[in-house]
Structure 1
Amino acid sequence: MMTYPVSVTVEPRLTGHNKLTTALRPVLAIPHALLVGPVYWSSRTGGAGLLGAAAYLMAIVSWFTLLITGEHIRGIREFSLYYLRWHTRNLAYMGLFADAYPSFGDGAYPATIDVISPSVPRDRTSIAIRLLLAIPHVILLVFLTFGWILTTLVAWFAILFTGAYPPSLYPFGLAVMRWTLRVEAYLLLLVDEYPPFTLE
């Protein structure tokens, strides 16, 4: 089985959470949410947040250049990767997977994303119909993200009382986060391989 070219790594942290910063997490995350978007998936996900909106606008430019030349504009690709790295850190912070406050911009964090560049020339057919191909994922992610929000709310209360993230909820939230980021990388035209339908 081939490995998908987008991998998300989160250093596991189930115990020893800071109860105070967890209680204030929705407020503390506002600056990052304004820049890279919140956790939820909607018709405007990715476009929520200033950098997210810019990344998706640049994806439109990339769509045309990839169809014409078969190559991604390097600056746009680098910006999209920058956005995804930041968004990964924000999702991990909002999902209560990490206590450390994410840096503004690039910086070390216990949640990372790695995107392997596709071969050139790119698959123009999949690029041409990318939005249509992503529809099944987006529909599923609407429901999965709703479930993730509910489990994160349960985890939030558990951490406030015990300082520990419930181990039974952790794998689901992490799986939805990974799925979301794989689909975002696909929609931002960073990879050509179709994302797998899996919570693994």
Structure 2
Amino acid sequence: MAIAEFAAPYPVTVEVQPATEPRNKMTIGFRIILAIPHLLLVGGLGFAGSIGAWWLTYGGMFSLGVLGAVATVCAIISWFGIMFAAQHPVGLRDLCMYYLRWRTRGLAYLALFRDEYPPFGDADYPASINVVMAEGERDKKSVGLRIFYLIPHAIILWALSIAWTVTSIIAWFSLLLNGTYPESLYNFGMGVMRWSLRVEAYALLLVDEYPPFSLD
């Protein structure tokens, strides 16, 4: 199974190395329980379980995870900094990136893409996100209206996140029974994960380019 990544010239790239075989059926069987600490910190599958929950008041800030809630507050403060002082505070930006890196690792584990337990904090892991962050003068119109620009993505990703949860459950049974992750389900899950993380980076004001409506 090839490395799945978003290769288009959008400034957010997500990469997950193919899982080594044979898969660890013991950790797969108890994955949801093992993932609870990361769920509490960075949220669950899809956009609806993360920053989109706050924007659309779906589930409230509790569904963001602790770090997701912190990142949301950082984004709100940064919004005022960009709009009124034309500055994106570096410390707040770095905290948002810290959250996104951790969330990427947590999602890859929860979605059964990898079997290695994710580290608590920044450390090497075969799932990563790279964001070429906006520099210099920011697009104040885009920043000012960001919450409205997010609505189409949030609606679509809400539906896709439900589908991703269903396909992950199907993949869970497949992995337990025959040790394989169906390729079509893998590609769909990776696509939703990429889309979700691109939109999260946009929602957190790390980039100004509008995210594509694409699973690629």
* Bin of the TM-score, shorter chain as denominator length: over 0.9
1:134-165: CA deviation from partner (whole Å, max 9, x where unpaired): 10000000111111111100000000111111
Total equivalences in the alignment: 200
Structure 2 gaps, min length 5: 1-6, 56-60
TM-superposed deviation, 1:45: 5.7
**Comparing 79-88 and 117-126, the one that deviates more:** 117-126
Displacement of 1:14 after TM fit?
7.4
Corresponding residue for 1:94? 110
Q: Within 1, Cα distance between the matches of 2:167 and 2:102?
A: 23
1:175 and 2:191 aligned: yes
Task: Show the counterpart of 1:136.
Answer: 152
Superposition pairs for residues 116-135 of structure 1, below 5 Å? 116-135=132-151
1:105 alignment counterpart: 121
Q: TM-score, normalised by structure 1?
A: 0.96
Q: Could you tell me which residue of structure 2 aligns to residue 44 of structure 1? A: 53
Amino acid at match of 1:180: S
Question: What amino acid does structure 1 have at the position aligned with 2:71?
Answer: A
Shift of 1:75: 0.3
TM-score, reference length from structure 2: 0.89
Contact 2:143 2:208 survives alignment (8 Å): yes
Counterpart pick for 2:29 among 9, 23, 42: 23
- Structure 1 residue 2, shift from structure 2 partner: 6.2
Matched, 1:54 2:60: no
What per-residue deviation string (whole Å, max 9, x for no partner) do you get for residues 144-195 of structure 1? 1111111100000000111111112111000000000000000000000000
Q: Does 1:64 align with 2:73?
A: no
C-alpha displacement at 1:58, in angstroms? 1.0
Could you tell me the percent identity over the aligned residues? 50
Structure 1 residue 13 displacement after superposition: 2.4
Amino acid at match of 1:17: R
CA distance in 2, matches of 1:123, 1:97: 36
- Give the CA deviation at 1:118: 1.2
Shift of 1:117: 1.6
> Which of these residues, 155, 162, 169, is aligned with residue 171 of structure 2?
155
